[in-house]
Amino acid sequence: MCGIFGYIGDKKTAPSIVLKGLKTLEYRGYDSWGVAVVPEKKTTEKVIVVKKKAGKIGNADVVDMPEGSLAFGHTRWATHGGVTDKNAHPHLDCTKTIAVIHNGIVENYEKLKTKLEGLGHRFVSETDTEVIAHLVEEYLKKYSVLPRDAAPAFSKAVQATFQELEGLNAIIVINTAAEEMVAARNGSPLVAGFGHGENYLASDPAALLPHTKQVHFLEDDEMVIVSKGGIHIFNAHTGQRVRPRKQLLTWTAEETEKGKFPYFMLKEIHEQAGLLSEIASESPEQSILIARELKKAPRVYMVGAGTSAHAARAASYFFSLIAGKLVNYGVASEFDHRLSVIPKDGALMALSQSGETMDLLEVVKKAKEKNIKIFSLVNVVGSTLWRMSDEHLAIGAGPEKGVASTKSFITKIAHLLLIAYAMTDKVKEGQKNLIKAAKSTKIVTSKAHTHAIMALAKKLKDEQHLYIIGHGLSYCAALESALKIKEISYIHAEGIPAGELKHGTLALVTKGTVCVVFAPRDEHYQSTMANAMEMKARGGYIIGISDKNEEIFDEFLQVPDAGIATIIPNIIVAQMLAYYLTIERGFDPDMPRNLAKSVTVK
């Protein structure tokens, strides 16, 4: 869940390079940050210099840190220990010549800490991470050799330390004797970047784009030694050399910038119309290939986490309505019980923006152990999910830096719609519907429509609760819309199947209760209107999202009809409402409290 960035090269401004790298990772969410550098000046008491703080980076700088060509940094979400300066990463050993940054949870840290304290080590933080620094220190004593052989001893000490850690972890370690970063991963993502006379490590490939596009995604139980002269990869257990799998990133550095927009989320909302047009016009070969495979499978299961789980639910409607294919969908963290009933000739499709969501990867790993074929829709090409899949499709959303998913959700929906049509050899019809959705999206994100949404946000900014209803695909839209409003504006929002109102939720509707109604012109239109009337009769304040204004609507946001793809512009309207509610309430839509972009721990 945390951000990692490391640099080694010819430049003496490594701390500044690292701090800039951390700023590109702020969107992942964090509550503290820190940078460590090996000072360039040689002294008899050379120690690693660390600057770390609780809170956001903001306008902080590292001008007070010494020059150096080897540095790394970290943005932390607290797991073990509170949000304090001492608990922020990096962490040092007793000699202050070894520094560690770490993503994940060391499950056996209490046992390791007790052992290390018995050996005389003194801890200054409450974190599980600090045991790693002291453990490397202890192993370095064991492997200590002549100074000219310090590097091999250091990497061996890191390797032995990593082997002692229980749980899913990614670690990077530096020391003052070896001009290198040594890292290893099991679970949490790490990416090595190849430069010219300089090399990098990061937790997210997007952070490397200003520096290089050639990367190696570390597999589980791989160890990497990164020096100025090169990147060497090994098996973290056997020590056997691994050939780098160099991959070229297709994103551009410009795509990771906000440009003219005040926040990434707004930029990403406005990119969606163009992305839909691109998907509609691209060759659908991969969609057709996946459709053929899914058509052959007697059972298809679809799984995701958070927003991706809502996309999986929507896909189940697409597949049944368009292709007549029953799809079982589920939330990754609750999917274990289904794995036992998936037949070997079944298919599992996993949906993810990052391709690193831990709950999802555990489901995929267990499915692979049963020889179940894995398909994936993923945004980050080369990610763990991408590499684990038998067939994969890049959703092509580009870098998404707002924590609240927008364009990656919409592009998943678009590709799933095409796959459903491809299963009936009607992919061109799917493309036509996406073109309609793109045109509708352009209209709902136009200035006139934006002003209407902004005005509505002003009216609703002090509300504590709102309810969102819909039938069929519009229920999926209601769930996703409620999630967007909750996660960034902190207003309690609940997505409800319109037909379920009488089974409990109507008890909460009183005079002035805000009720959002998705009412596309589909087969559910009349029943949706009847359900909206039930809320209206009890005093509900009805906000209609439809292509037609109805008398029962107190507020109306028009969405031009796009057939079965109307779910797309409907959700985009809700994304915009969530965004402007957040702005009106004085919060940051890009970095909501307590949340991270990629959940890489359980």
Task: Report d(CA 125, CA 89) in Å as an integer.
Answer: 10
Distance CA 459, CA 89 (A): 43
Q: Are 141 and 119 in contact (CB under 8 A)?
A: no
* Paired residues of 36 in beta bridges: 50, 72
Closest CA to 354 of 583, 116, 557, 191: 191
Is-contact 386 252, C-beta < 8 A? no
CB 506 within 8 A of CB 498: no
One of 113, 432, 597, 602 is an active-site residue; which one?
Answer: 597
Going along 39-109, which residue ranges are E strands?
A: 49-54, 70-76, 91-92, 98-104
Q: How far is CA 176 from CA 98, 364, 424, in A?
A: 7, 40, 63
Question: Can 515 be counted among the known catalytic residues?
Answer: no
Find all residues with CB under 8 Å of 286, minimum gap 6, and list them: 391, 393
Residues 6+ apart with CB under 8 A from 70: 7, 8, 14, 37, 38, 174, 179, 180, 181
Rounded CA gap, 499 and 188, in Å? 42
Q: What is the residue-wise DSSP string for 409-446?
A: HHHHHHHHHHHHHHTTT-HHHHHHHHHHHHHHHHHHTS
User: Rounded to the nearest 10 degrees, what angle do helices 407-422 and 272-281 cross at?
Assistant: 20
From residue 5, how far is each of 23, 31, 103, 186, 193 by CA, in Å? 10, 16, 12, 17, 10
Q: Which residue of the set 2, 373, 407, 515 is catalytic?
A: 2
Is 536 among the catalytic positions?
Answer: no
Q: Mind telling me the catalytic residues?
A: 2, 597
